[in-house]
């Protein structure tokens, strides 16, 4: 990640749990932080990893099908939304 100067990474359909998320984070980069939309007993569909030395992340909304973030670096502010659309008909209308 560092060789490509990447400071933010969003992964969709990770199916990780809170129990194994540390391994996912360790494989990306030393010192990177992780946020995901998993709750205990549920698998994550969206994971966000970032390098806190390069960007600051403010989490706005975490929901089963999406996560809203505000990303700050030295000179910019960016609003980001990662979406994972559910196949469940009842949940589709919530998007």
pLDDT tens, residue by residue, 23-73: 555 566 678 888 887 764 566 778 888 899 999 999 888 887 888 999 998
Q: What are the two backbone dihedrals, phi and then psi, of residue 49, each rounded to the nearest 5 degrees?
A: -125, 140
| Domain 2-92 CATH assignment equals 1.20.1270.360 | no
Taking the C-alpha atoms of residue 18 and residue 14, their distance in angstroms, rounded to an integer, is 11
Region of poorest pLDDT, from 3-7, 13-17, 79-83:
13-17
Taking the C-alpha atoms of residue 33 and residue 90, their distance in angstroms, rounded to an integer, is 33
Break the chain into its structural domains and give their ranges. 2-92
Per-residue pLDDT at 1: 58
Of 94, 77, 82, 4, residue with least CA distance to 44: 82
Per-residue pLDDT at 86: 74
Name every residue whose Cβ is closer than 8 Å to that of residue 59 and which is 6 or more positions away in sequence: 35, 67, 68, 69
Q: What are the two backbone dihedrals, phi and then psi, of residue 7, each rounded to the nearest 5 degrees?
A: -120, -5
């Amino acid at each position: 990640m560092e060789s490509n100067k990447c400071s933010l990474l969003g992964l969709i359909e990770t199916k990780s749990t809170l129990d194994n998320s540390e391994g996912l984070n360790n494989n990306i980069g030393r010192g990177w932080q992780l946020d995901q939309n998993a709750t205990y007993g549920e698998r994550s569909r969206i994971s966000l990893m970032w390098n806190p030395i390069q960007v600051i992340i403010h989490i706005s909304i975490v929901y089963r099908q999406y996560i809203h973030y505000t990303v700050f670096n030295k000179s910019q502010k960016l609003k980001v939304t990662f979406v994972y659309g559910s196949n469940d008909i009842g949940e589709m209308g919530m998007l």
